[in-house]
């Protein structure tokens, strides 16, 4: 899991650890859903660190 969900003020911010992807949501459910969906997509992308 490269994405993390952080609570800040009144919103939930999602930040990807593998790319500059960031987003903000007003509730935790869509935030987690987006983080998970992005993690799956982001992991599908070839990364120089993981390339063999
Ligand atoms: Zn990402």
pLDDT value of residue 30: 94
CA of 14 relative to ligand 1 center, distance in Å = 10
What percentage of the chain reaches a pLDDT higher than 90? 35
The count of structural domains within the chain is: 1
Distance (angstroms) between ligand 1 centre and the Cα of 33 equals 14
CA 47 to chain centroid, in Å, comes to: 16
Structural domain of 23: 3-44
Q: Is 31 within a domain? A: yes
**What is the DSSP code (8-state) at residue 48?**
T
Distance 31 CA to ligand 1 centre (A): 14
Residue 13 placed within a domain: yes
Evaluated on CA atoms 40, 44, 45, 51, the torsion sign reads positive
Let me know if residue 52 belongs to a domain. no
H-type helices in 10-50, by residue range? 28-44
Among 6-10, 12-16, 23-27, 39-43, the range scoring the smallest mean pLDDT is 6-10
pLDDT at position 24, please? 92
14 Cα distance to chain centroid: 5
Neighbours of 4 (CB within 10 A): 12
């Amino acid at each position: 899991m490269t994405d993390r969900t952080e609570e800040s003020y009144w919103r939930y911010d999602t930040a990807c650890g593998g790319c500059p992807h960031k987003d903000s949501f007003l509730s935790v459910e869509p935030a987690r859903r987006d983080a998970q969906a992005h993690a799956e997509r982001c992991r599908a992308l070839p990364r120089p660190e993981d390339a063999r």
